[in-house]
Amino acid sequence: MLLYSVIIFSQAKNYWKSRGSKLLQAVYGEEFDNADYILNNASSDLWKWIEQAYGNVFAETTYLDYIETELDVIVTLVQMNTLPQLQNHLKGAIRVGATEEQVKAALLIAHTVRNTFLNKSRL
């Protein structure tokens, strides 16, 4: 039973890695190979985690497609104030098929939420 579980986990891990790489390539486009090289050489553990996160979470399309996922990531990154990642995902949203209007709407929502909470925390 343990061997069966290891085999199943190994297959799932390979599936997540493949699915994660596919989404990373879709989001980052031509920049993917450079990011792959840099992250893999800087920290192979970090790169493995990123592949797993993209493959197991972000690439899951049961509830959200790639466009909706990227728009959600944009809103989240605005809240986190992470400009480098935000810039990559703004481009990534367009690469996976979002329209400029959808990206602008996500940014508007994100900034409205952020400003609302920032203003309330100052009271």
The string of pLDDT tens digits covering residues 45-62 is: 777 777 778 888 888 888
Whether residue 89 sits in one domain with residue 34: no
Rounded to two decimals, what is the model's pTM? 0.75
- For 18-40, b/e burial (b = at least 16 CB within 10 A) is ebbbebbbbbbeeeeeebbeebe
- Cα–Cα distance for residue pair 19/68, rounded to 1 Å: 17
pLDDT (0 to 100) of residue 96: 95
To the nearest whole number, what is the mean pLDDT of the chain? 82
Whether residue 15 sits in one domain with residue 25: yes
Number of domain units in the chain: 2
Whether residue 56 sits in one domain with residue 67: no
* Torsion sign across C-alpha atoms 27, 29, 33, 38: negative
- Cα–Cα distance for residue pair 96/76, rounded to 1 Å: 18
User: 92 lies in which domain range?
Assistant: 62-123
Whether residue 111 sits in one domain with residue 69: yes
Residue 4 has pLDDT above 50, yes or no: no
User: Of 5-9, 47-51, 83-87, which range is least confident?
Assistant: 5-9
